[in-house]
A and B are shown apart, each in its own frame.
Chain A
Amino acid sequence: MTREYNLKRADFIFRNENDWEHILSRTLKKDRRELINELISSELKGRGGAGFPTGLKWKLTSESEAPQKYVICNADEGEPGTFKDREILMKVPFKVLTAMAICAYITGANNGFIYLRGEYKFLQHDLQKAIDEFIYYCNDINFKFSIDIFMGSGAYICGEETALMESMEGFRGEPRNKPPFPTGQGYNRMPTVINNVETLAHTYTIFKHGAKKFYDLGVQFSRGTKLFSVSGDTPKPGIYELELGMSLSDFVNDFGDGDTKAVQVGGASGFLVPRKKFSETNIGYKGKLTGISLPTGGSMMLFNSTRSMYNVLDNYLEFFREESCGQCTPCRVGCQQLHMGIKAVKQGQKPASYLEKLLKLTETMQYTAKCGLGQSVANSFSSIVENFREEMIY
């Protein structure tokens, strides 16, 4: 078997540089506007799912006027099979803390929070120690900032930024209506920057090495590197930092077991790409690339020919059916209908044409659901049903 090594690996995130004190004090002396422009010119986009430009997010928050502002690090990492955020917090916590402080400096926030996934309780002790050391240093250099850990409540939906804020405020973790967006009204209805752990870690790279270094990696619309959690039928599961913009066939050549039938890009809320579309699919943000976005986590799951795509979809739908917060009609009832619907087709209680009705239904879910969860069920559903229709029926 021939392999082309076209994947560009990188090592920024986990490189332990031990220079955070220097980077922090140096950056806090710079002009806020310059820093924002630096971040904007890096074209870093959020690594937590929605891919919102990070520089713009910080800029909007810095421009919102309010008596109080917050920085939140989203470490809820709920996507099954992903644990890259956990690795970052374990290995290079100071990069994240430094990024939060710089964000606070730029936006005018005084308080930071790390919303830590409930299952990561074992991280809490060490993370708190790092925070204590970090805040001690902040005090030393006369920078007023606090960071508190908030333990998550264990629901997948609490990773959605506004549900996360509701949960921090002591309410049920239900996503809010948007607008208003967190940059204007976030935690406690005050302007809030919320970023994924990895996004914050990348800003550290940018503030250390400059925007150009980051921008030069990747491709148009998808700059820099990204951590991928590789799992499924692969001889080498794990976390890999790769340059964005790679083609899926290159990826499969590197990580597949020689019999890869399909790859689920972006976890349950992402897309399933069948073998025949590997070469035309690039991994990156919308804009340049064919139909593929990069939702939560950067999860890449490989399936070989022994896998039933019906079972894969059944699993995803069961997951959504249970993990939907349940507040909005299209998602709460839609997920139940999709889940029971494919079963009914499989068991012959509904005709194969019922799949078309369900595909239309997922369109409605995509257009009308209140948050990203319900909106993105259509991704896996339609990509699996359209590409593996026979497996759904027989």
Chain B
Amino acid sequence: MAKKINITINGVVYEANSGETILEAARNAGINIPTLCYHKDLCVAGNCRVCIVEIAGQSRLAASCATPCHENMEVYTNTLKVRTARKHIIELLLSEHNADCTRCYKNGNCELQNLAAEYKIMSEDLIPLAAYKNYSIDMFSPSIIKDDSRCIRCQRCVRTCSELQGVNALTVAYKGDQMKISTFFEKSMNEIVCTNCGQCVIHCPTGALIEKNYIEEVWEAIADPDKHVVVQTAPAVRIGLGEELGLQPGTRVTGKMVAALKSLGFDSVLDTDFTADLTIMEEGSELLNRLKKVLVDKDDNFKLPMFTSCSPGWIKYIEHMYPDMLQHLSSCKSPQQMFGALAKTYYAKARKLDPEKIVSVSVMPCTAKKFEANRPEMHDSGFRDVDLVITTRELAIMIKQAGIDFPKLNELKYDRIMGVSTGASVIFGATGGVMEAALRTAYELVTGREIPFENLDITPVRGMKGVREASVIIDNPLAEWKFLDGVEIKCAVAHGLINAKKVVEAVKNKDAEYHFIEIMACPGGCLGGGGQPIPTNSEIRDKRAQAIYEEDANLPIRKSHENTEIIKIYNEFLEKPLGERSHHLLHTFYVERKRH
């Protein structure tokens, strides 16, 4: 228990925990202090200086985000001295900034703009420095745009990429007036180790790092009478979208989202959940196959543990950082790409459509999915499998542009075919969800019985701890799986690439023995993805996770192999998991990439 201390803020005595910063104590007391470089997910930097406060007895102002409270400290957050200094600092930031907000993607959702609005900076006394700077915009990545002219050098992105992701793609370069956020040798974002996870984007307070948006392209496709536009929505979009449209974090909006998509004019509104279930069938079978090859056949061509492959940020990470481990990756495509390949084959055939006229759009909580859809090998349908990827945020923008009163929409259901989801696929949106879904199905395939967890809730793999472990002992399996009798299947789950690194290192150094490992590039899994609503922090992610598990608990089918459309697709099209068609459409390969 933290020791309680007394601190006086603006003349009123409050209780604070010792060790807390002035900022935390003030916010707990309901007094807001503006911040820019501070972010709850990150370590304290203390470089923007807008959070300054006056401490009695000190002539210098203190950065409240970086200054611990002391017993009987006397703090003032709104004196003339503080206001003058804070206004100066905002003016300084703006003087260095390309502040033409009306042409900025973050207009309306920008921390710098909010601050300027609050402090009513109306005049421009200082010299506009932006005009003298050779600011550049990097638009080469399919996922992320980096516009240095909107950067306030708070280093949130740098801390994100290093502390949460361990990638260190972004660094601070140069000093003094030249100081900027840069990459290895100032290369473009598409030429470096960047995984396109977009965590820097959701942690950036301004328009300096944004997703590359494809909103106009989607509108154009919808408007084209010759095109049949299908849209798939990832599991985590339904629990995030509401936040961008005025609802509280953790609000489930599945039905309203479907209604909105129909009203936007998509020809068919389908669910990535369907291919999430398909992933479970394929990946589960692949795992069982690997277990047999390794444990029984002693076949060196198969490696354990097997890593999941549905997070494209994680895929690019391992391709860069651990190319020698690529054989450990499941060969399954991500649900998005499975969906894309099927949309222009299975779906086209069933709906009697010319696949060339199908535009396949996906709504994802993720910026790395934009890169993934762009990978040259993702053309197994004979066409580009997924044409356009937009994030949860871009969808919200479209809904606003269309003038839809989102909270008032009547809930609608997904179209068929490829629109049935299960609880198992919904939880793909949370860290541990793939593991839980896979265990529900694999255990049952092997033993013929349900996995022995109350209500099928495999709680050890849930939660937000960076790395979690679980194991299941296979007891009395069906004849075909006799070799697994009594085997303890050991699993691990990691989210955030910094945690992925820990697990991969443990596997490499043989410090840990696992059979199956789920990895999601983003903190919290897809629900905390780089395409999700801004802001993000652990409380918001917890609420989104809660919504996901509620959605799971409320669905009539909660196991992938019981999804009626999954049964149907294997009967009518794919025949069996790991079959020839699956192999062609649903599985992929990986490439080695440079470490810088």
Could you tell me which A residues sit within 8 Å of B by CB distance? 155, 157, 172, 174, 177, 179, 320-330, 332-337, 340-341, 344, 354, 357, 360-361, 364, 366-370, 375
Smallest CB separation, B473 vs chain A (Å): 42
Cβ contact within 8 Å between B63 and A330? no
A337 touches B177 (CB 8 A): no
Chain A residues near B285 (CB-CB < 8 A): none
- B96 contacts which chain A residues (CB < 8 A)? 332-333, 336
Determine if B127 and A177 form an interchain contact, defined as CB atoms under 8 angstroms apart: no
Judge whether A332 and B129 touch: CB under 8 Å.
no
Contact of B153 among A177, A322, A332, A340 (CB under 8 A): A332
- Which residue of chain A has the shortest Cβ distance to B46 in the bound complex? A177
Q: Pick the contact of B47 from A327, A337, A354, A357 — CB < 8 Å?
A: A327
Interface centre among A179, A325, A326 (most CB of B within 10 A): A326
Most buried by A among B68, B92, B179: B92
CB neighbours (8 Å) of A361 from chain B are 88, 92
Known contacts A333-B95, A334-B92, A361-B88; decide if A324 and B47 are in contact (CB<8 Å). no
Q: Which of B52, B67, B132, B175 contacts A324 (CB 8 A)?
A: B175
B126 on the interface (CB 8 Å rule)? Answer: yes
Q: Give the complex CA separation of A73 and B44 in angstroms.
A: 28
With A and B bound together, what is the CA distance between A344 and B127 in angstroms? 9
Kindly report which residue of chain B lies nearest to residue A369, judged by CB atoms: B49
**Contact partners of A336 in chain B: CB under 8 A:** 96, 129, 177
Cβ of A329 and Cβ of B67 under 8 Å apart? no
A332 to B81 alpha-carbon distance, docked (Å) = 21
Which B residues are within 8 Å of any A CB, using their own CB?
44-50, 52, 59-61, 63, 66-68, 81, 84-85, 88-89, 92-93, 95-96, 125-127, 129, 132, 152-153, 155, 171-172, 174-179
A322 touches B176 (CB 8 A): yes
Question: Nearest chain B CB to A326's CB is how many angstroms away?
Answer: 3
A177 to B67, CA, bound (A): 8
B48 touching A328, Cβ below 8 Å: yes
Residue of A327, A329, A334, A344 with highest tally of chain B CB at under 10 A: A329
Residues of A within 8 A of B171 (CB): 172
* Bound form: Cα–Cα A335–B85 in Å: 15
Cβ-closest chain A residue relative to B94: A333
| Residues of the B chain whose Cβ atoms lie less than 8 Å from the Cβ of A322 | 175-178
Bound form: Cα–Cα A368–B155 in Å: 18
Q: A337 near B176 (CB under 8 angstroms)?
A: no
Given contacts A337-B129, A361-B88, contact A370 B47 (CB under 8 A): yes
Task: Give 4 nearest A-B pairs by CB, closest first.
Answer: A326-B179, A333-B92, A177-B66, A364-B88
| CA of A174 to CA of B153, assembled, Å | 13
With A329-B49, A368-B49: A155-B60 Cβ-Cβ less than 8 Å? no
Contacts A326-B177, A367-B85 hold; do A333 and B93 have CB atoms under 8 A apart? yes
In the bound complex, residues from chain A placing their C-beta under 8 Å from that of B81 are 367
Query: Which residue on B lies nearest to A327, using beta carbons?
Result: B47
Total inter-chain residue pairs, C-beta < 8 Å: 116
Cα distance A336–B178 in the bound complex, in angstroms: 10
Complex contacts, B153 vs chain A, CB 8 Å? 326-327, 329, 332
How far does the Cβ of B149 sit from chain A's closest Cβ, in whole Å? 14
Contacts of A320 in B (CB 8 A): 176
Contact partner of A340 (CB less than 8 A), chosen from B52, B67, B127, is B127
From B66, B125, B155, B175, A357 is in contact (CB under 8 Å) with B125
Known: A336-B129, A337-B126. A321 touches B89 (CB 8 A): no
Supply 27 A–B pairs (Cβ within 8 Å), ascending by A.
A172-B171, A177-B46, A177-B67, A321-B176, A321-B177, A322-B175, A322-B178, A323-B176, A324-B175, A324-B176, A325-B176, A327-B45, A328-B49, A329-B49, A329-B152, A336-B96, A336-B177, A344-B127, A357-B125, A361-B92, A364-B85, A366-B60, A367-B85, A368-B49, A368-B63, A368-B85, A375-B60
CA distance A330 to B153 in the complex (A): 12
Q: How far is the CA of A341 from the CA of B92 in the complex (A)?
A: 13
Q: Are A367 and B61 in contact (CB under 8 A)?
A: yes
B175 contact set on A, CB distance < 8 A? 155, 157, 322-326
Q: Which residues of A contact B129 (CB under 8 A)?
A: 333, 336-337, 340
| B10 CB to nearest chain A CB (Å) | 18
- Residue in chain A with minimal CB distance to B66: A177
State which of A155, A332, A367, A368 has its C-beta within 8 Å of the C-beta of B177. A332
A386 to B60, CA, bound (A): 22
**Bound CA span A364–B61, Å:** 9
Which residue of chain A is the closest to B60 with respect to CB atoms? A367
Q: From B174, which residue of chain A is reached at the shortest CB distance?
A: A326
A340–B127 CA distance with the chains assembled, in angstroms: 8
User: Bound complex: CA of A355 vs CA of B68, how far in Å?
Assistant: 36
B179 and A329 contacting across the interface, CB-CB below 8 Å: no
**Which residues from A are CB-within-8-Å of B60?**
366-368, 375
Q: Which B residues lie within 8 Å of A172 (CB)? A: 171-172
**Which one of B47, B61, B127, B177 contacts A328 once the chains associate, using CB atoms below 8 Å?**
B47
Provide the residues of chain B in CB contact with A333, threshold 8 Å. Answer: 92-93, 95-96, 129
Cβ contact within 8 Å between B92 and A329? yes
Shortest CB-to-CB span from B262 to chain A, Å, is 47
Residues of B close to A332: CB separation below 8 A: 96, 153, 176-177, 179
Q: Which among A172, A336, A354 has the greatest number of chain B C-beta atoms within 10 A?
A: A336
**Distance from A160 Cβ to chain B, minimum over Cβ atoms (Å):** 12
Query: Given the complex of chains A and B, what is the CA–CA distance between A177 and B43 in angstroms?
Result: 12
Complex CA–CA separation, A326 to B181 (angstroms)? 11
Nearest CB in chain A: distance from B351 CB, A: 57
Nearest chain A CB to B117 CB, angstrom units: 18
In angstroms, how far is the closest chain A Cβ from the Cβ of B569?
A: 53
The CA-CA distance from A368 to B61 in the complex, in Å, is 6
Complex Cα gap A387–B395 (Å): 61
- CB within 8 Å for A329 and B176 given contacts A337-B95, A357-B125, A368-B89: no
Known: A326-B177, A327-B47, A328-B48. 13 other contacts (CB 8 A): A177-B63, A177-B67, A321-B176, A325-B176, A327-B179, A328-B47, A333-B129, A336-B129, A357-B125, A366-B60, A368-B52, A370-B49, A375-B60
In the complex, what's the smallest C-beta–C-beta distance from A112 to chain B, in angstroms? 28
* A192, B153: Cα distance in complex, Å: 30
Contact A330 B179 (CB under 8 A): no
B residues less than 8 Å from A369 (CB atoms):
49
Q: Are A330 and B47 closer than 8 Å at their CB atoms?
A: no
Q: Is A177 a contact of B44 with CB atoms below 8 Å?
A: yes
Task: Tell me which residues across on chain A come within 8 A of B152, comparing CB atoms.
Answer: 329
CA distance A320 to B179 in the complex (A): 13
Closest Cβ of chain B to A230, distance in Å, is 28
Which residue in chain A gives the minimum CB-CB distance to B92? A333
Nearest-neighbor residue (CB-CB) of B44 within chain A: A177
Nearest-neighbor residue (CB-CB) of A324 within chain B: B176
Given known A-B contacts A326-B177, A336-B96, A357-B125, A370 and B63 have beta carbons under 8 A apart: yes
Give every chain B residue within 8 A of A155 (Cβ-Cβ).
175
Q: Which of A179, A327, A366 contacts B67 (CB 8 A)?
A: A179
Q: Which of B52, B63, B66, B127 has most A Cβ within 10 Å?
A: B127
CA distance A354 to B127 in the complex (A): 11
Residues of B within 8 A of A360 (CB): 84, 88
| A326 to B152 Cα, complex, angstroms | 11
Instruction: Kindly report which residue of chain B lies nearest to residue A323, judged by CB atoms.
Output: B176
With A155-B175, A326-B153 as known contacts, state yes or no: A364 contacts B127, CB within 8 Å.
Answer: no
Whether A335 pairs with B88 at a CB distance below 8 angstroms is no
A364 touches B176 (CB 8 A): no
Task: Report B-chain residues with C-beta under 8 Å of the C-beta of A344.
Answer: 127
**Cross-interface CB contact of A326 among B49, B84, B178, cutoff 8 Å:** B178
B54: min CB distance to chain A, Å: 9
- Answer whether A337 and B179 are a contact pair too, CB < 8 Å, given A326-B153, A370-B47: no
Given A327-B153, A340-B127, A340-B129, check contact A364 B179 (CB 8 Å).
no
Closest beta carbon of chain B to A174's beta carbon, Å: 8
B176 CB contacts on chain A under 8 angstroms? 320-326, 332, 335
Inter-subunit contact B48/A329 (CB<8 Å): yes
In the assembled complex, which residues on chain B have CB atoms less than 8 Å from the CB atom of A335?
A: 176-177
Pick from B89, B172, B177: contact of A364, CB under 8 Å:
B89
